[in-house]
Amino acid sequence: MDDERDASGPGGLPADGHVHSEWSWDATLGSMEETCRRAVEIGLPAVAFTEHLDLTPFRAGFLVGTRPDLVHDGVLTAPPFDVEGFRAAVERCRGLFPGLRVLAGVEVGQPHLHRAALRAILSSGGFDRVIGSLHCLPDGDVAAEPWELYPRRRADDVVREYLAEIPRVVDGCDEFEVLGHVDYPLRSWPTELGPFEPRRFEDEFRQALRAVAAGDRALELNTRLPLDPLLLQWFREEGGRRVTFGSDAHEPAAVGAGLADAAATAWAHGLRPGRRPEAPWQVGAHQHAAG
Ligand SMILES: [Zn+2]
Ligand SMILES: [Zn+2]
C-alpha cells in the first residue's frame, strides 16, 4: 500500500537520466566535472551521461556555424564517439563525487539503422543507460532534422512522418531501454503556425506510444520542452508502465532543469520511483521508505 509520503508527492528530485558533456560533439560548453558539481549542489541523486552516438549524416543547417569542421557540402558527419576517453572521465567523476551516482550511457540516434555499430560499442561493457532517439528523417539521399525540414515541407507531414517512424525505431532495435524525446519535432514547431495541438495528432501519437509500451521501453520525459501531460496520459492508456526523466542538458547550468515539474506530472499519472534513484519510475513501484 502507498504510505503517506507516496500520497503526498515525489519529494526530492529524480535522477537526471539524459545529460551531455564534452564527450558529445555538439556540447561545445559541456563539462562532465562541472555538471557533477552542479548536480550535487542542487540535490540530484544521480546523473546519466548519455553522450551522442550519431552515425547518420544529416543536413547541417545552422549547425554549420557550431561545428564547421564536421560539415562538407552541407552535410554534417559526427565524429566517432571516444568510448575510452569517456569511460575514463566517468571513472574520474565517480571518484571526485562519491555521493552522486554517475551513470555511463549513450544516446544513439536512429538506433534501428545502426544496430551493429551500437552492439559493438555496448559489447565493450560498462554502459548503464542506453537512450534511443529519432533525430532525423530520410531526406533524399541523406537525412534531415525536423527543424531543417519544416521550411521545405508541410509541418503536419513532418510530425506525422516522425511519429510513424517511432514503431520502426522500437521494433528495429532491442538494445535501447529508453525512447528519448518522443516530442522532438515539437521543439522546432514553426511559431507562425501557432501553438502545437497534440489532439490533432492523437492517432499518430497513440500509435507511436503503443509501440514504445509494447516494446517494453521506458518513455522519457525530456524537459527541454516539457512533455505535454496528455502524451503521458496516452502512453499510460496504451499500456506504458515506465518513464525516465532527462534535462538533455548540454552545459552544466542546465542539469536537472525542469525535473521537479516532470516528476510531479509522472506522479500524478501513477508512476513511482524504484529502489535505486536512477531506475525508471514504474506503475505500481513502491518507495523504499516505510510508512
Ligand atoms: Zn536527442
Ligand atoms: Zn540528448
* Residue 27 alpha carbon to ligand 2 centre in Å: 10
Question: Exposed (0-12), middle (13-18) or buried (19+): which is 213, by Cβ within 10 Å?
Answer: buried
Residue 235 lies in a domain: yes
Distance 58 CA to ligand 1 centre (A): 14
* 28 falls within a domain: no
Domain contains 61: yes
- Write out the residue range of the structural domain in which residue 161 sits: 4-14+52-244+257-283
The residues near 41 (Cβ < 8 Å, ≥ 6 apart) are none
Distance from the alpha carbon of residue 52 to the mean position of ligand 1, in angstroms? 8
pLDDT for residue 176 = 98
Among 231, 256, 245, residue whose Cα is nearest residue 281: 245
Q: Could you tell me the distance, in angstroms and rounded to a whole number, from the CA of residue 254 to the centre of ligand 1?
A: 15
Q: Which residues of the chain have pLDDT under 50?
A: 1-5, 289-291
- Rounded distance from Cα 4 to ligand 2 centre (Å): 35
**Alpha carbon 283 to chain centroid, angstroms:** 20
How high is the pLDDT of residue 11? Answer: 80
Q: What is the CATH number of the domain that holds 132?
A: 3.20.20.140
Q: What is the pLDDT of residue 278?
A: 96
Q: Tell whether 205 is covered by a domain.
A: yes
Per-residue pLDDT at 5: 45
Least distant ligand from the CA of 187: 1
> Which whole-number Å values give the CA distances from 135 to 109, 160, 190, in the listed order?
6, 14, 17
pLDDT of residue 284: 82
Is 276 within 8 Å of 26 (Cβ atoms)? no
216 within some domain = yes
Distance of alpha carbon 264 from alpha carbon 199, whole angstroms: 22
Alpha-carbon distances, residue 243 vs 50, 269, 273, 288 (angstroms): 16, 11, 10, 18
**Domain count of the fold of the chain:** 1
Say what the pLDDT of residue 289 is. Answer: 45
Give residue 51 CA to ligand 1 midpoint distance, Å: 10
Tally of CB atoms within 10 A around 235: 27
Report how far ligand 1's centroid is from the alpha carbon of 172 (Å): 18
108 CA → ligand 1 middle, Å: 8
Span from the CA of 290 to the centroid of ligand 1 (angstroms): 37
190: CB partners within 8 A, 6+ apart: 150, 155
Structural domain includes residue 30: no
In a domain, 132, yes or no: yes
The label of the residue with cell 522546432 reads 188
Cα of 238 vs centre of ligand 2, distance in Å, is 25
Q: What is the pLDDT of residue 4?
A: 39
Please report whether residue 24 resides in a domain.
Answer: no
- Looking at residue 10, its pLDDT comes to 81
Q: What is the pTM of this model?
A: 0.95
Kind plus residue range of the DSSP H or E element containing 117: helix 115-122
Give distance in angstroms: CA of 109 to centre of ligand 2.
9
Cβ atoms of 8 and 264 closer than 8 Å: no
Please give the Cα distance from 95 to 22 (Å, whole number): 18
Report CA(1)–ligand 2 centroid distance (Å). 36
CA 251 to CA 9: how far, in whole Å? 29
pLDDT at residue 9 in the model: 77
